[in-house]
Structure 1
């Protein structure tokens, strides 16, 4: 019989913060694609056209990245080993979004959003990789089942 591993206090803290932080990309994607006027009102017409005119593959990457991060965070709170998989999927989506925004359309992104876009993307990468490594460590310690 396997002995149960006690849940460390920091899992609840990290998991709760991760759910709160990663709810934003899911809400952002949803409200943007519903073309919610309140949500899109801070954008200029050119910014709005760029975001809403993204190709399907870029939108799929955004959805996979955002919803994958949120699902991974919920799974982390449930102590599911599948949180690691969800975070990996999210990072793949983030890679696709980064490719579209900063590699294929870097000049346009910089012209429309200045340095804010690259700073936000860098912060997202740091957060996602930290969550992935944290979930992997918790899985290795037997906290995630």
Structure 2
């Protein structure tokens, strides 16, 4: 494609890490949504109740967050300008997903702030970093 410059090796390394992160998100979603009854029974009462009462839109937000993160990584891999907006969609879904959990549930009070927010904050930071990286790559004309 005209107008694209050859990216440095580290672009490919970062892109592979982002792709692996996206694949792990899809695997986590799949494992969560296909959990068998025995695994659900081993959950704490709180977690089991949370799972049973999850609104459908929240499950969809989870799916959108992980799938668009993975698709954004593929877009980076093929050096497409679409990586940035797809990563933005992923971040919006992440914010909706965890925003609902933190605002509409008592998870922080039950599990404690560090346990309840640690990994979600990491996920949100990773989503912001993906947006930044795609924008950085676009500005350097590595994607287009």
Fold conserved between structures, TM > 0.5 = yes
Residue 11 (structure 2) aligns with: 11
- Please identify, of 83-92 and 2-11, the stretch whose mean Cα deviation from structure 2 is larger: 2-11
Residue 30 (structure 2) aligns with: 30
Residue 135 (structure 2) aligns with: 136
TM-score relative to the length of structure 2:
0.86
Aligned partner of residue 5 in structure 2, secondary structure: coil
- CA distance in 1 between counterparts of 2:27 and 2:56 reads 18
CA RMSD, 1 decimal: 2.3
Alignment of 1:43-62 (within 5 A): 43-62=43-62
Alignment of 1:67-82 (within 5 A): 67-82=67-82
Aligned partner of residue 142 in structure 2, secondary structure: coil
- CA distance in 2 between counterparts of 1:9 and 1:39 reads 42
Where do 5+ consecutive residues of structure 2 fail to align? Answer: none
Measure how far apart 1:25 and its partner are: 1.8
- CA distance in 1 between counterparts of 2:49 and 2:26 reads 20
Following superposition, which runs of at least 4 residues in structure 1 exceed 2 angstroms of deviation? 1-4, 35-46, 112-115
- CA distance in 1 between counterparts of 2:8 and 2:40 reads 40
Counterparts in 2 of 1:96 and 1:21: CA distance versus 1, 3 Å: same
TM-score relative to the length of structure 1:
0.85
Q: Deviations over 1:82-126 (max 9, x none)?
A: 111110110010010121111111x23541476222011111111
Alignment of 1:113-124 (within 5 A): 115-124=114-123
Where do 5+ consecutive residues of structure 1 fail to align? Answer: none
Counterparts in 2 of 1:131 and 1:3: CA distance versus 1, 3 Å: closer
Counterparts in 2 of 1:88 and 1:42: CA distance versus 1, 3 Å: farther
How many residues are aligned here?
144
Q: Which has the higher contact order (CA 8 A, sep 6+)?
A: 2
State whether residues 33 and 52 of structure 1, in contact with CA within 8 Å, keep that contact through their aligned partners in structure 2: no
Residue 98 (structure 1) aligns with: 98
